[in-house]
Amino acid sequence: MSFDLVLDEPGKLDTVEEHEGLSFIAESKIVDRYGPFKMTSFKSENRIYLDIKSVQDTGGGGCDSCTSCG
C-alpha cells in the first residue's frame, strides 16, 4: 500500500499530529484502518525523498511489491 503526501488544511474528521513544529494531517478513517504511520526521509544530490508507511502490515502493494526501483 502506498500513501501520498499533499499540502492541505485539516478537516473536521481528520487526525492531526504535530512533530517539531510541523502538523501532519490524515483522514481519521485511514488512521483507523492502517494505524499509525512512520515517515522517513533521505537526501540524494539536491533532492529530498520522503517515504510514508503504516507501522502495521498493509498486505503489500505499492513500492514494496517489486524490485524495479533498485
Q: What is the pLDDT of residue 50?
A: 84
Length in residues, the chain:
70
Q: What is the pLDDT of residue 29?
A: 92
Other CB atoms within a 10 A radius of the CB of residue 26 amount to: 19
Pair 2, 30: CB distance under 8 Å: no
Q: What is the pLDDT of residue 2?
A: 73
Q: What is the pLDDT of residue 45?
A: 92
Pair 23, 17: CB distance under 8 Å: yes
Give the Cα separation of 30 and 14 in Å (integer). Answer: 9
| Segment-wise mean pLDDT, segments of 10 residues, the chain, 70 residues | 82 91 90 88 90 76 53
| Contact residues for 63 (Cβ-Cβ < 8 A; gap 6+) | 2, 69
